[in-house]
């Protein structure tokens, strides 16, 4: 937990000793009253949280001093063929930490349809993963998270003027490393574990996606998403 994240209204009252942030302060940081910690307001400033008081029950009162804006997100949209929920949760954490602006999880022809109705989504467990990623990346900004039941519907959500890229190891047109940005925004589509169907490849081509490869090896969705994101962010000048 590199950054303690708070909602604006939380400064007005003690935060319970059962709260994961307070547990982290007590058990990991070993902090005491008067100590200042790196903190931020969700959708707001980054600064310092001074521990104003530790109450008898272990709960904490804080004072927050704003210091700076959080760094901007990379204007990259990811469309990801929905993987198993544990994998999706890790991706939400890691891609949030990497500063991605928008993540769309999509149902696919060859993917498991039940993944989109798992507890990760029905119980909104994905929000915890996003907060963990924000804390890891020391950012108060978070990606827009969306899910749709088809690739066609997901592509319909895109804005005009984005560079359009899709990863595919069956019939790629060029290596992703050769991507040179033509626009300020980009979309990268990554298929599910079993890849895109022929029908989905046609959809991608019809919608003017450039079909790219990450080399000859067959990669898991998680690996392809992280590698592809890094290459695109580097090309866009964000890393």
Query: What is the rounded distance in angstroms from the CA atom of residue 208 to the CA atom of residue 202?
Result: 10
Query: What is the rounded distance in angstroms from the CA atom of residue 3 to the CA atom of residue 118?
Result: 29
Tell me whether the CATH fold assigned to 4-69 matches the one assigned to 74-236.
no
Question: Given a cut of 90, is residue 142 above it in pLDDT?
Answer: yes
Give backbone dihedrals phi and psi of 93, rounded to 5 degrees, phi first: -65, -50
- Residue 1: per-residue pLDDT: 83
User: pTM of the predicted model, to two decimals?
Assistant: 0.94
* Average pLDDT over all residues of the chain: 96
Structural domain spans, the chain: 4-69, 74-236
CATH for 4-69 is 2.40.240.20
Report yes or no: 104 and 80 within 8 Å, Cβ to Cβ: yes
Q: Counting Cβ atoms within 10 Å, is residue 192 exposed (0-12), middle (13-18) or buried (19+)?
A: buried
Give pLDDT tens digits for 54-101: 999 999 999 999 999 999 999 999 999 999 999 999 999 999 999 999
Chain centre distance of CA 140: 12
Report yes or no: 221 and 87 within 8 Å, Cβ to Cβ: yes
Give pLDDT tens digits for 181-195: 999 999 999 999 999
CATH superfamily of 74-236: SPOUT methyltransferase, trefoil knot domain (3.40.1280.10)
Mean pLDDT, range 23-30, rounded to an integer: 93
- Residue 163: per-residue pLDDT: 98
């Amino acid at each position: 937990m590199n950054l303690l994240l708070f909602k604006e209204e939380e400064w007005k009252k003690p935060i319970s000793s059962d709260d994961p942030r307070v547990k982290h302060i007590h058990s990991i940081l070993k902090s005491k009253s008067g100590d200042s910690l790196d903190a931020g307001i969700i959708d707001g400033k980054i600064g310092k949280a001074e521990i104003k008081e530790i109450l008898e029950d272990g709960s904490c009162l804080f004072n927050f001093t704003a210091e700076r804006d959080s760094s901007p997100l990379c204007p990259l949209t990811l469309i990801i063929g929905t993987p198993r929920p544990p994998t999706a949760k890790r991706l939400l954490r890691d891609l949030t930490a990497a500063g991605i602006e928008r993540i769309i999880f999509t149902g696919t022809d060859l993917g498991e349809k039940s993944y989109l109705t798992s507890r990760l989504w029905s119980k909104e467990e994905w929000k915890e993963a996003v907060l963990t990623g924000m804390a890891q990346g020391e950012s108060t900004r978070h990606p827009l998270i969306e899910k749709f039941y088809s690739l066609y519907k997901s592509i319909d959500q895109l804005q005009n003027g984005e560079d359009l890229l899709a990863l595919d190891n069956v019939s790629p047109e060029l290596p992703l490393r050769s991507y040179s940005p033509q626009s300020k925004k980009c979309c990268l589509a990554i298929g599910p574990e079993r890849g895109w169907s022929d029908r989905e490849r046609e959809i991608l081509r019809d919608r003017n996606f450039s079909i790219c490869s990450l080399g000859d090896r067959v990669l898991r969705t998680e690996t392809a998403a992280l590698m592809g994101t890094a290459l695109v962010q580097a090309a866009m000048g964000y890393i």
